[in-house]
Amino acid sequence: MMIREYKPDDCVFLAQLFYDTVHTINAKDYTKEQLDVWATGTVDLNEWNRTFLDHTTLVAVDNGVIVGFADLDGKGYLDRLYVHKDYQGKGIATALSNELERRAKEEVVCFKTEASITAKLFFEKIGYTVQAKQIVVRGGVPLTNFKMIKDKDVINRSSITKR
């Protein structure tokens, strides 16, 4: 597997990966109605492309197949982190988040995200802590997620431990 920077040609593939992953992997924690408002199957590709270009966006590729992606804004907010439904549990999400952190280490004081019920345990394993459980409403449908944070001290300690 290799991790590379995002290219605009990737956008349509990332949108499909997002939809497939949400509707497969997150189905154990959310209802069909919740999944349908979270990942509708239609995203504004121009807006997604714009945000991917504005953020640090990385794409994981394995044998020519896009298997994951993640994007981080300039303030340390991890906006999207998704791994292809058929490539779960292979370290792709960890590799993407580690590389984003490495690239942003000097500019960012702490990293933040809003993790789904499904992703919460993953983020805890890589050093994030829950700040708050929240209910967000999309299309009139409530979805539970978690505001999470990882401060730079956690990142610096894990770097020292790995040496």
Residues 75 and 81: their CA atoms lie apart, in Å, by: 16
Question: What is the CA 131 to chain-centroid distance, rounded?
Answer: 18
CATH number of the domain bearing residue 153? 3.40.630.30
Q: What is the number of domains present in the chain?
A: 1
User: What DSSP designation does 6 have?
Assistant: -
Three-state DSSP state, 42: coil
Q: State the pLDDT at residue 153.
A: 63
Three-state DSSP state, 62: strand
Q: State the pLDDT at residue 144.
A: 98
CA dihedral sign, ordered 68, 72, 76, 77: negative
Q: State the pLDDT at residue 38.
A: 97
Residues 49 and 10: their CA atoms lie apart, in Å, by: 9
Residues 6+ apart with CB under 8 A from 123: 113, 115, 146, 148, 150
Q: Which two tokens stand for residue 92?
A: 């792709």
Residues 6+ apart with CB under 8 A from 48: 11, 14, 15
Q: Which domain holds residue 65?
A: 2-162
Question: What is the CA 43 to chain-centroid distance, rounded?
Answer: 16
Q: Would you write out the chain's pLDDT as a tens digit for each of its 163 residues?
A: 999 999 999 999 999 999 999 999 999 999 999 999 999 999 999 999 999 999 999 999 999 999 999 999 999 999 999 999 999 999 999 999 999 999 997 788 899 999 999 999 999 999 999 999 999 999 999 999 999 999 866 545 554 444 4
CA dist 114 → 80, 85, 120, 128 (Å): 9, 20, 9, 11
